[in-house]
Amino acid sequence: MFGLDARIALAIFGALSVISGAALYSAIKQARATAFLTEMKEIGKAWESYYIDTGGNLPQNSLDSSNGQFYWLKNNFLVEKPAGESNWNGPYLSYDPMGYALKDSSTGHKIYMGLLKNEDSWNDWIDGRCLSGKNCSVWGFISEIEDDAMALGIDSIVDNSDGLDKGAFRWFLQGNSTYAYMLKVAPIKNPND
């Protein structure tokens, strides 16, 4: 039915469509990872704006260093003016306040800022806490993420694919079903020292 030339042309077009489809899929994955990373960087910029405007870090959620809430910051001050803070020029983000955290109503993700150590390897925020004697940074978190599909793409962009527990971008499984992604924002004086 088809001549040899038509079959060769059909095979070439078939191969090209497979190659271009794979390239398109890869480009879409990369674009999603870049967009998510941009959102994480915006959270860091909001913290920086608060810091510049007020002259200080977000307050810690607890003053008791033995309490796990000690390592979380009062992120609600990125969208709600703290009492008595005349230099606050927010809101710095458009998320919904939820206690000391924030919530993205469109995705259900929770947004936090926390204090974590700068060491090369730790695998979750409990292991990474800013304990006495450690060099620490403010980290931005997005949690309640359904899967870790974008994590490898973001890790490739930020840390040249160094893995989930190293570098300026990290991620871990929360409980049994959702993930948290973390991005280092800025070094900070250790509040435990």
Q: Mind listing the pLDDT tens digit for each residue in 25-47? A: 666 677 788 888 888 899 999 99
Q: What is the pTM of this model?
A: 0.81
Domain presence at residue 155: yes
Domain presence at residue 150: yes
| Structural domain span for residue 137 | 4-188
Domain presence at residue 52: yes
Domain presence at residue 168: yes
Domain presence at residue 79: yes
Given a contact cutoff of 8 angstroms between Cβ atoms, the answer to whether 50 and 58 are in contact is yes
| Of 71 and 28, more confident | 71
- Dist CA 92 CA 76 (whole Å): 10
Chain segment 137-175, per-residue pLDDT in tens: 999 999 999 888 889 999 999 999 898 888 999 998 887
Q: At what angle do helices 4-54 and 151-159 cross, to 10 degrees?
A: 70
Domain presence at residue 55: yes
For residue 97, is the peptide bond before it cis, meaning its omega torsion is within 30 degrees of 0? no
Record the tokens describing residue 63, joined without a space: 């003053």
Question: Per the structure, how many domains does the chain have?
Answer: 1
- Dist CA 109 CA 101 (whole Å): 10
Q: Which residue type is seen at 169?
A: F
